Structure 1
């Protein structure tokens, strides 16, 4: 070996990163990922990839958030508006549910049309042909990098891959520690019906084009157009060649792979077609180290804001963090022994997925599968879309508490657009002003009811989503938040309020203002005790009342704060007085419907009528103890059912609900079940076959996000007009600390606890703070100016105050 080769060998050896099993914030494995469900996800808010494989081969399952089939189209309605609405309502008021639902099916049940779905983009397939030894792969959450390390025939190989938001690409660097030993081939395989690959310029790349067409959720002819490039550069030797759609690298020491793609979604010119090649060329010119440095700095500016550490329990020890992640999950599932650090890892994984899936400049928010797509939902009735009866909302439940407000912004913009599109549905189906959306929507602004009334006539689905505007505003608490209220939240929510004022009707038997006919997602009931014929539609489902009450109250307060719309505010206040109160049923449960109907599915997966407990605040232990007790009865009843639908989002809601009821041990139990029973090896949550028609185990992102949000609720709550620290701490999390969690009103909180007791808490203000700080039954008044912080001991005695 000559001197140059020896120098190259030493250089390569020094650059090969070691898998950091010492980090607590790492998902790692000692065997290859044989399938998508074992692969590790990366994303930059637009491009997503799940990386699977081992030494022999590696596959990047690529997605792009705007690569949607379908198109924007107005959904025809057979309803003549308010006249037909009154006909339907009268049947329900008369107790004729059967004919009421029949008429609804005729008038408010549209055809599917070209609804569409997010289509997986392509697979990047790398073939190495190695027989791996000492294999390790890892997702380092602190850097958002997937690493693979192994030895084959005496040569050590390392691959590092990340999705860079800073440069708009996916980059991978592959190293061997012996000169000239790196050889592999690269191919592209399309995942949509229309896909083609050709040789790029300079003989160092493959370019592809496609159209997001499919024939399950659209006519197979319409969808977004996409273009992309995979470009490769080799350092210190080696050659690149392209032939027959295959790119080959031979006898290199190191190779850099760059993937870039774009679509014509929501673009008015052709500049999108130039973006992939331009980004790839710029990335190659920068080189891997500069790309990595920019990526880590950009990512950590968000991720590093929050730290969480949980001490060990009696049943676990620090060495658990050195077990491969799949083995830790299996251990939790099989023995139910506690592993506190695994819960903290799951939480930070949820924050990681939020950053990877939704950035400030993302063109679309996260859908049913975040920005990743295993292809399963696309081929069945579900569609990989925006479900509005908890799923899309839950994707963003951890954003504000997790100090990732910027990641919430794509949803804010999406809601604005939906409010414009929803004016068509309001007019076409109900003859009403304002805007409405129902059980789901798509990239094109679909807002009509779904194509069967039993699940599709959720008349507050769009409002449920729009409640995230209020959430974003309440956590802000500064000048920027006030601008957001005036320019975005208030106009959108005022228009929603305009619809419900026009749409709702007075119930003839009780004089209350109700919605309907509508369903309580996606449940059914027996209208009498005989229980022979179940129905889905009624007047005034409780979920609707909760959301409308929250809407009217917020818009009225905002109107007064902004000094506008006095007459409209008076209408809202009059309507608020007519809304039904929440009721406790004869079995002690919180009623799901206006009447105390019998539950056709007492163990149903949806808990929509518990919105007032979580994420809302109409039900609290202190202000409404009877309703809180009824909510607990409902939660307990759902869990006891013999046919419990233990769906990922349901377990997240169980955990969050118990956290709001300050039962930390129960909340931890549900989180443990979610992690142990409803997560793949890669910690992504899934829905089981048979649930809502699922045909296979399908990744659904909401469990990751909902579980993360529930975890935060156990440590910090601020929904009841106070900052409550450690409100639902499990006994097994006896020691720990967190910093960076956010409370409503612009406060950031840091806390330390020992032996299950608070030791220190610090509040930092980014806006004027005037509220109570609470620990157990102890309170202290907080009055802080922006930039100030104050610390208290475990008795809430002040120990330090300073200006930042």
Structure 2
């Protein structure tokens, strides 16, 4: 029996994008759709956005109008308060734009049907396909090279002169042109234009090149096609460049230059360089959750069998390890240290579905963009976090205008959506668009990056300046509640939920003062800034303001139903089955709620999760299942965490293992690929095996019974420590902690906690028996 290891394998052709397999080099991406008759590569580039940079206009007079709205909310007149917010604080969409697919590369072969096998090798980031047909078998290989900046492919045949095909490009946007030349090139140009999210005239321009090199046979150009006849071997190279953030015209020749340089090298050298560079990131983590006979089956069959097994999950623990490593693969493929933009709603790829409806393939700041990077640090891919961290700095600069224009406040803010140009204004309808802490939520990734890496220069020069200006905004923006005496935000959303006022009419409301998520984020922000200001010796007056504000922040509250309150008041949920769990931020990814530190709030969070999932209309979308899994892991409930990851994989993944949002939810017209389920699911699996958010490194905090024996090596813990874990029979066998910076923390396994003090470079190997649970 041949085990597939860390490979996605299929023994049938891909019928559509939802069965195609993704590759990427951090900027250029493609989804590869192989059949006997045709290869189709759906090409994307991270900066290919419609729209443009625009300052959002508002009629708000800032603080004067903000005070008018707040007075209405404090008086309990939510209807009039929301009407005023609708009038003054809604932004116009205008040329917000969306990320767009660029074009399809189509290679049409001679001959009829045949047997197709496909495989994506996660260990080396190489896609391979074979076609067996009577008298004309062929093999195909493609990778996205980060070192050389191109897609490179090889097509071979099982007999001399057996390769004949036509290659053409089909643009995905209205403005697209391609032309071939006799030297084996197709050149193309285009512009990212559409009319759903912009006016159809503005967008990023692209320039690209496709080069064919053949061993034997002939290559001929016909209009916009290249025709290959009777070749023994064929190599194809693709490059793309855009004018995003460019003031010169040199970008127009960059793709052609990259293709020329790559095609001048030996294909084997390109492949070797690609594999070495990719594995410098990927190979840091190895995962083995237990091997069974199911590992030899095709991936789509394994997914279906997992679904048939119900909540038992069957006997395929290594499928979960594959899902984890797939999440790491997608991170490396979509977000490199030099990527011009971070991962968007669909990572680096794009199926086109979100572009043709009210959705936009953009940066959703009320969980989706954040979740794309939840696993990055713990998965030992800190470099892949850098595009987001730079983007946050850009957002902070743009957000100064929104803070001043809409609220009359200092500092910066951003709301629910953003785009390639750093849009920070409220969304274009108040029911979801006034998530005033969306930018802050994203900015807490700066804190996360520092906590894991302990880079003091990053803290001083990048993280703290941005977070300090966010704190300045909230210090200026927040107001003391006239009855409760608490310092609150508002009017603001609890994304993207609504409520009924108890004892009032049955009209649902979306805006209130001081939603729980806002307060949890502000408390985390103020606490981090206060500690950092003291460490860096920042101005005493600023530190005093933070101390005074922290003392006035509302506490977490438990409602009459025993659940964690989502709003400042104990409102009735208008949609108890809602997909968002924003008010549980303090449980995950925050650290305000822990089973040991805050047992009452932990129990309230547990009741919240269980009650929401029991609702008949529970919105089981990809990011919600990832949040459920990670949240139960934080509650040390491995069985419920496992159940939710299993459901995510079996019921919310296409055959290519990419996660999706179900048709009918949030206006989705079809099952739409959304990348956060892949990234968030990977983060949840790590949370089941290692946690380090509560001042301790916790080993196997939520190990499920279905993974009785296994190991994971190379994970990162906060404090800049590498952690290897082996377990057997459901118990810790041994663990190694390597300190990469001075480490002062605690080490925990079950109910046993010991101090952990290591200098940089020192490691500790500990046997499970040394941390065995003590029974009385």
Q: Which residue of 1 aligns with 2:224?
A: 245
Q: Which residue of 1 aligns with 2:470?
A: 496
| Cα distance per residue 1:46-78 (max 9 Å; x no partner) | 001000121110100000000010000001011
Distance 1:796 1:658 in 2: 27
Give the C-alpha shift of residue 594 in structure 1.
0.2
2:392 is the alignment partner of 1:415: yes
Give the C-alpha shift of residue 786 in structure 1.
1.1
2:28 is the alignment partner of 1:50: no
Q: Which residue of 2 aligns with 1:125?
A: 106
Q: Which residue of 1 aligns with 2:131?
A: 150
Matches of residues 257-406 of structure 1 in structure 2 within 5 Å? 257-312=236-291, 318-336=292-310, 337-338=313-314, 339-406=316-383
SS at match of 2:81: helix
- How many residues align? The count is 769
2:50 is the alignment partner of 1:69: yes
Q: Which residue of 2 aligns with 1:22?
A: 3
Give the C-alpha shift of residue 132 in structure 1.
4.8
SS at match of 1:397: coil
Give the C-alpha shift of residue 134 in structure 1.
4.2
2:666 is the alignment partner of 1:683: no
Contact 1:151–1:157 (CA<8 Å) still a contact in 2? yes
Q: Which residue of 2 aligns with 1:13?
A: none
Distance 1:320 1:529 in 2: 56
Contact 2:34–2:118 (CA<8 Å) still a contact in 1? no
Q: Which residue of 1 aligns with 2:77?
A: 96
2:195 is the alignment partner of 1:215: yes
Moved more, 508-517 or 268-277: 268-277
Matches of residues 539-578 of structure 1 in structure 2 within 5 Å? 539-578=513-552
| Cα distance per residue 1:267-325 (max 9 Å; x no partner) | 1222211210110011111121111101101100000000010115xxxxx22011110
Contact 2:363–2:418 (CA<8 Å) still a contact in 1? yes
Contact 1:778–1:796 (CA<8 Å) still a contact in 2? no
TM-score, with length taken from structure 1? 0.95
| Cα distance per residue 1:147-176 (max 9 Å; x no partner) | 001222233311001111111001110001
- In structure 1, which of residues 704, 729, 735 is the aligned counterpart of residue 709 of structure 2? 735
Contact 2:36–2:115 (CA<8 Å) still a contact in 1? no
Contact 1:531–1:598 (CA<8 Å) still a contact in 2? no
SS at match of 2:422: coil
Contact 2:177–2:188 (CA<8 Å) still a contact in 1? yes
- In structure 2, which of residues 169, 178, 193 is the aligned counterpart of residue 188 of structure 1? 169
Q: Which residue of 1 aligns with 2:766?
A: 792
Give the C-alpha shift of residue 133 in structure 1.
3.9
Distance 1:112 1:764 in 2: 49
SS at match of 2:707: coil
CA gap 1:381/1:277 in 2 versus in 1, 3 angstroms:
same
SS at match of 2:377: helix
Contact 2:622–2:660 (CA<8 Å) still a contact in 1? yes
Distance 2:380 2:309 in 1: 34
Distance 1:133 1:214 in 2: 38
Give the C-alpha shift of residue 530 in structure 1.
5.1
Moved more, 152-161 or 623-632: 152-161
Distance 1:134 1:193 in 2: 36
Q: Which residue of 1 aligns with 2:754?
A: 780
Matches of residues 614-763 of structure 1 in structure 2 within 5 Å? 614-763=588-737
Q: Which residue of 2 aligns with 1:315?
A: none
Distance 1:177 1:303 in 2: 32
Matches of residues 455-534 of structure 1 in structure 2 within 5 Å? 455-477=432-454, 481-529=455-503, 532-534=506-508
Contact 2:34–2:129 (CA<8 Å) still a contact in 1? no
Distance 2:662 2:771 in 1: 49
Contact 1:111–1:451 (CA<8 Å) still a contact in 2? yes
- In structure 2, which of residues 235, 239, 256 is the aligned counterpart of residue 256 of structure 1? 235
Distance 2:174 2:382 in 1: 37
| Cα distance per residue 1:415-442 (max 9 Å; x no partner) | 0000000001001100100000000100
Contact 1:75–1:110 (CA<8 Å) still a contact in 2? yes
| Cα distance per residue 1:673-720 (max 9 Å; x no partner) | 000000000000000111111111100000000000000000000000
- In structure 2, which of residues 50, 54, 61 is the aligned counterpart of residue 80 of structure 1? 61
| Cα distance per residue 1:333-366 (max 9 Å; x no partner) | 1223422111110000000000000000000000
Distance 2:46 2:125 in 1: 19
Distance 1:156 1:788 in 2: 55
2:424 is the alignment partner of 1:436: no
Q: Which residue of 1 aligns with 2:185?
A: 205
Unpaired segments ≥5 residues, structure 2? none
Distance 1:135 1:176 in 2: 14
Contact 1:214–1:220 (CA<8 Å) still a contact in 2? yes
Distance 1:743 1:724 in 2: 9
Give the C-alpha shift of residue 656 in structure 1.
0.2
SS at match of 1:197: strand
2:214 is the alignment partner of 1:234: yes
SS at match of 2:137: strand
Unpaired segments ≥5 residues, structure 1? 1-19, 313-317, 799-804
Distance 1:87 1:714 in 2: 47
Distance 2:323 2:363 in 1: 24
2:155 is the alignment partner of 1:178: no
| Cα distance per residue 1:196-245 (max 9 Å; x no partner) | 11124x5301000001111100000000110000100012x111011021
Q: Which residue of 2 aligns with 1:592?
A: 566
Distance 2:658 2:574 in 1: 31
Distance 1:130 1:586 in 2: 69
Give the C-alpha shift of residue 755 in structure 1.
0.5
Q: Which residue of 2 aligns with 1:12?
A: none
TM-score, with length taken from structure 2? 0.98
| Cα distance per residue 1:79-121 (max 9 Å; x no partner) | 0000000000000000001011001000001211100000110
Instruction: Compute the RMSD of aligned alpha carbons.
Output: 1.1
Distance 2:224 2:254 in 1: 22
Distance 1:295 1:742 in 2: 25
Moved over 6 A (4+): none
Distance 2:322 2:503 in 1: 47
Distance 2:464 2:339 in 1: 23
Matches of residues 109-124 of structure 1 in structure 2 within 5 Å? 109-124=90-105
CA gap 1:407/1:108 in 2 versus in 1, 3 angstroms:
same
| Cα distance per residue 1:634-677 (max 9 Å; x no partner) | 00011001100001000000000000000001000000000000
Distance 1:118 1:23 in 2: 34
SS at match of 1:724: strand
Q: Which residue of 2 aligns with 1:14?
A: none
Distance 1:761 1:754 in 2: 12
Distance 1:293 1:637 in 2: 52
Give the C-alpha shift of residue 781 in structure 1.
1.7
Contact 2:324–2:681 (CA<8 Å) still a contact in 1? yes
Contact 1:60–1:123 (CA<8 Å) still a contact in 2? yes
